[in-house]
Amino acid sequence: MIKKPIDIVKKNIVRFPRRTLLLLSSFMLTGFVLFSSIYMFQSVSNGAELIEGRAGADLIISSGKFNPYSLTGEKDTYFNGKELLEFLGKNERITAVAPQLYLETISTVCCGTEGNFPVVAIDPKNDFTLKPFQVLSEPLGDKEVVIGAKAGGDRFIFHAGDEQIEEKVLLFYETYTVKDSLFQTGSGIDDTIYMSLPEAENIISSPFYIKELPKNPLSAVFVQVDKGETDKAANEIEEKFPHLHLQFGNELKGNLQQFLQPMKILSFGVVILVLCMNILQVLTQFIGIVNERKQELGMLRVMGASKWQVAKLMLLEAWLAGAGGGALGIVLSFAVFYDQKDLILIVIELPLIFPVWQEAILYGAGTAVFLGLWAAGGAGLAIRSLLKSPPFYLVQEGESV
């Protein structure tokens, strides 16, 4: 038994199942494209944000100007890092320190991928620069390495987590097990092989390693500082270690924004195009629906329903179709992202950090509500001219159809 206008709307929706299905499908596709674009864009933004600040580093300390494009810690100049690390450890403004040591660029085969790969040592316990890009996030042990996406990571990712399959790589006459792979970042990280600092110390002390390095060598130190304390911390470091070079993490922002600009424009372009196509489709469908129901809607006006009460029925119907179809598309899109996460990361050669699920739900709900309102807007345009006509014309025209 109908009691509220929404009950009539539900009856209208099931009244024409094929048309409803078409309408839902149309909104499902729109929801899919819209949510995918938003989700992807947000993932790229998240990835970019991390890289912008050198994965969260406020300061980068090296013995010469650090190459911002490399983003690997690769630097063929070294300094004795012991005193610096002690100083940084005692400084209250500093919240995290991630030292890196570039060893060598080695020509080798990693996970069946041949190439020249820079080998960099990191402190697995304190490193914060790679964590957002790690596939498995497992601790790095002895004779284990982490590889960038282009250093064989594409292949590794297909059996990531499979204990039966182990990928090996030969470095400095030793065989290392690939423990983890990094997501594609679009930066120098992708080509790099990472090992732990203690492992690097073993290599340096071996007779095969011919490069002369200072004691406790480091090539770069990435530092996180309390909010608003960066300048003070930088001054203190410069004062104490005038021979070292300091670079602020946000200096890299401009370059990355420039790199992402075409993608942003393309993404917005696709969204606008899809929405334009959708609104035209909604208008076509609802003009048809409204014309077909002219007599029925006219009768409602004759029986004392106001313009708004009649319009409300159509708007609610459109809202349900838009939000319902959109929600289906969003769920589908999310499922594809969840299931094909690795494939997407490989195909799209950009740094991607997927939003956390709470954030994803928020985007999904927002997209569904937006599509509902979008559909209602389209229906509103379709019914607008109809409601301007006196009820008698509506009924007469409806009867003659």
Task: Please give the residue ranges that form the binding site for another protein (CB under 8 A).
Answer: 1-5, 7-8, 11-12, 14-15, 295-296, 298-307, 309-310, 313, 390-393, 395-396, 398-399
- Cβ at position 294, least distance to another protein in Å: 9
Token pair of 65 as six digits: 């100007």
Write the DSSP string, 80-127: E-HHHHHHHHH-TTEEEEEEEEEEEEEEEEETTEEEEEEEEEE-TTT-
- Cβ at position 5, least distance to another protein in Å: 6
- Cβ at position 326, least distance to another protein in Å: 25
Amino acid at 256: L
- Cβ at position 393, least distance to another protein in Å: 7
Q: In the complex with another protein, which residue's Cβ is closer, 166 or 399?
A: 399
The CA-CA-CA angle for residues 67, 73, 77, to 5°, reads 75
Q: At what angle do helices 230-240 and 82-90 cross, to 10 degrees?
A: 140
Asked if 156 and 177 touch (Cβ cutoff 8 Å), the reply is no
Q: If you search the block for the tokens 């009867």, which residue do you land on?
A: 399
Token pair of 175 as six digits: 């065989």
Helix (H, G, I), strand (E, B) or coil at 341: helix
Q: In the complex with another protein, which residue's Cβ is closer, 15 or 168?
A: 15
Q: In the complex with another protein, which residue's Cβ is closer, 71 or 315?
A: 315
Q: In the complex with another protein, which residue's Cβ is closer, 54 or 293?
A: 293
- Chain-centre distance for alpha carbon 21: 32
- Cβ at position 319, least distance to another protein in Å: 17
From CA 274, how far away is CA 302, in angstroms rounded? 39
Token pair of 5 as six digits: 């206008």
- Cβ at position 163, least distance to another protein in Å: 59
Token pair of 264 as six digits: 């942003």
Q: In the complex with another protein, which residue's Cβ is closer, 54 or 301?
A: 301
Q: In the complex with another protein, which residue's Cβ is closer, 234 or 379?
A: 379
**Phi, psi (5° rounding) for residue 182?**
-105, 150
Residue 134 DSSP symbol: B
* CA atoms within a 13 Å half-sphere pointing along the CA-CB vector of 172: 24
Q: In the complex with another protein, which residue's Cβ is closer, 7 or 339?
A: 7
Q: In the complex with another protein, which residue's Cβ is closer, 8 or 336?
A: 8
Q: In the complex with another protein, which residue's Cβ is closer, 173 or 308?
A: 308
From CA 326, how far away is CA 376, in angstroms rounded? 13
The dihedral of CA 159, 160, 162, 164: what is its sign? Answer: positive
- Cβ at position 387, least distance to another protein in Å: 10
From CA 311, how far away is CA 284, in angstroms rounded? 17
- Cβ at position 375, least distance to another protein in Å: 21
- Cβ at position 158, least distance to another protein in Å: 52
